[in-house]
Amino acid sequence: MKLARLRSLPVAALAVAALLATAAPAAQATPEAVAAAPDIPLANVKAHLTQFQSIATANGGNRAHGRTGYKASVDYVKAKLDAAGYTTALQQFTSGGATGYNLIADWPGGDPNQVLMAGSHLDSVTSGAGINDNGSGSAAVLETALAVSRAQLAPDKHLRFAWWGAEELGLVGSKYYVNNLATTERSKLAGYLNFDMIGSPNPGYFVYDDDPVIEQTFKDYYAGLSIPTEIETEGDGRSDHAPFKNVGVPVGGLFSGADYTKTSAQAQKWGGTAGQAFDRCYHASCDTTANINDTALDRNSDAVAHAIWTLSAGTVTPPTGTVFSNAANVSVPDNGAAVTSSVAVTGRTGNAPSALKVGVDIKHTYRGDLVVDLLAPDGTAYRLKNSSSSDSADNVIATYTVNASAETANGTWKLQVRDVAAQDTGYIDSWQLTF
């Protein structure tokens, strides 16, 4: 893992970065790394949360292990998966004298010797409905599984999804699953992704650092959105990835924070309130549908899908159409004026597509310095990438999707790049438009 280079942006550069951040239309382009997986509709995820809330309300206010609310939650998720074409199984166990359930769902196809799992715990504590902890992870994993069905995804790896019982009592359900999995079956697990609390009302963006490939998959997703992340430490070993990790399965996941306090530095880069817990309703009766940050839930749900699509090596249809490109190098001055590289588009009729692909290859020693825009022939700017003082990786090599349907296709399109901070240099290597 590359270590971040500690640096501070000059005040003037910060001002320029802030100005540039508002210079383009509000609807930013989406990196191809995110667009390769379908967008997970926030409304769908929240609809599942509403169902979990209704279940809790109708069953003594919670969805805890051994209670009717938990079994009703399992039945709800199972019915959705059965209807979507999954092979589902309920695994029973006993804890505290009560019967618990793990729900396991397998998507047909894929290499049975290379199994990618994603899971979340479905139970709440007894004091509340557990909508963030952990309806949020459960709903996102469910909706991603349903998206796999809608897309009829044909991944190289076999996909398996799980919803664990009795996590709140000490990871009981996931431990039971792992301990009862034959050694030969354990060896087939290519990875396990865990999602526990991903919609915290005062959210952070934390990534597990257990497996470098899984970790980088999530970090690349957020880098494409210019959202800084931090390594997850608050819940390390306290959620359902731990039993898998303990037997050597590669693990990873996301977390938006529990009862730790958000620092001033974290509030500065993520928004929210410094000096306040990431989730003030953690393990409390107020963990209801009102205890969710929609933006965090939306981003993290999309990240779940991105990881599933990427790590399962699913079949993705490459963009088709006519390609217009420019491979001439253009130097980007350090902390200087914006530069452009032009592409002349000819022979097209009407307007540009609503999913115009913009392939960018910029070599630079600190990509967080860069602000990148696509300029339409009439000068309209479409933001591809914002600057970020915490993004210390090299190079911007990505394909972005732009809704350019308001623009005439023919004409001179430009890639505009500006370096807004000192110390690092680079150049535009090449770029292309795919109509």
Catalytic residue annotation: 167
Q: What is the rounded CA–CA span in Å between residue 325 and residue 403?
A: 19
Q: What is the rounded CA–CA span in Å between residue 264 and residue 315?
A: 43
β strands within 247-395, DSSP E: 251-255, 323-326, 330-332, 339-345, 356-364, 370-375, 381-385
Q: What is the rounded CA–CA span in Å between residue 327 and residue 268?
A: 38
Task: Name residue 313's amino acid.
Answer: A
Closest CA to 367 of 157, 163, 220: 220
Collapsed DSSP state (helix, strand, coil) of residue 121: strand
Task: For CA atoms 68, 71, 77, 78, give the dihedral sign.
Answer: negative
User: Two tokens at 325?
Assistant: 């490109």
Alpha helices in 105-155 (DSSP H): 137-151
Phi and psi at residue 111, to the nearest 5°: -70, 115
Q: What is the rounded CA–CA span in Å between residue 114 and residue 157?
A: 5
The CA-atom distances, in angstroms, between 171 and each of 194, 237, 238, 295 are 12, 10, 8, 28
Task: For CA atoms 350, 433, 405, 371, give the dihedral sign.
Answer: negative
Q: What is the DSSP letter of 271?
A: -
Residue keyed to tokens 């924070």 = 257
Q: What is the rounded CA–CA span in Å between residue 29 and residue 398?
A: 11
Residue keyed to tokens 């009302």 = 201
Q: What is the DSSP letter of 392?
A: -
Q: What is the DSSP letter of 64?
A: B
Centroid of chain to Cα 192? 15
CA torsion angle for 102, 189, 219, 358 (degrees, to 10)? -110
Collapsed DSSP state (helix, strand, coil) of residue 295: helix
Contact between 219 and 212 under an 8 Å Cβ cutoff? The reply is: no
Closest CA to 172 of 70, 280, 31: 70
